[in-house]
Amino acid sequence: MLTRELMMGLFPKSSQFMNDYLPSLQHVAQQRQITTPRRIAAFLSQVGHECGGFTVLVENLNYSAGGLAATWGSRFAEKNAAGAYITVMEGGRSRRVPNSDAQKLHRQPEAIANRVYSNRLGNGDEASGDGWRYRGRGLIQMTGKSNYQQCSLGLFGDERLLTTPQLLEQWRWAVESAGWYWSTRNLNALADGDDFERVTRAINGGLNGHAQRVALYEQALNLMSQTSAG
């Protein structure tokens, strides 16, 4: 069921990479028992959202000051005396006002990664460089030293991803790491149920982009249903 036609229907912009990723994707789907319509649709919608429709394998942290304020408001947006965000209207939309930290980090992706991912996910402090070293990679945007370590042990039986995290920017390992993550968190069981929101929370930690994930999920089910009926 995980065919070239299905991937083209869902992610047409990935056509230039399809020969690179599709064999690995088909292998991992079998290996991780992602073989029913619900499981396939859930997996593709989630990882497809995370990796820009099978086109992006490393996290883009080239945020503007305004982007930082919008994404990490608690760190990078101005607040008033009551603790509420200060906003301005731009282009008919309300936007948070960036603080001085956001201004300093404007369009500095490495510094941004080292700031926002420091002292969490197994990373060291800002000066360690772990935030940038272990930024999001692979189909599922694996992030943080501890996740890289666990994934490395799961895929290779050693810790090579700690010294060569760029392996997750190769299509094979980008796909394999997503399969590992999916399997170790028992997401097939969630996909078998009717609560797709729980799948999103398991992947994202919240509900960022949930509506887009749902749309992809429903599109995938529809495309597989049409193929089956044909």
Cα 221 from Cα 171, distance rounded (Å): 25
> Residue 208 — very low, low, confident or very high, per pLDDT cuts 50/70/90?
confident
Domains observed in the chain: 4-57+170-229 (1.10.530.10), 65-106 (no CATH)
For position 194, what pLDDT does the model report?
A: 80
Q: Residue range 140-152: average pLDDT? A: 96
Asked if the model's pLDDT at residue 184 lies above 70, the reply is yes
pTM of the complete model = 0.91
Cα 156 from Cα 26, distance rounded (Å): 20
For position 230, what pLDDT does the model report?
A: 54
Provide the H-helix boundaries in the chain. 4-10, 18-31, 37-50, 65-71, 73-76, 100-105, 109-116, 130-133, 145-156, 160-163, 171-184, 187-192, 196-204, 210-229
For position 229, what pLDDT does the model report?
A: 62
pLDDT tens digits, 102-113:
999 999 999 999
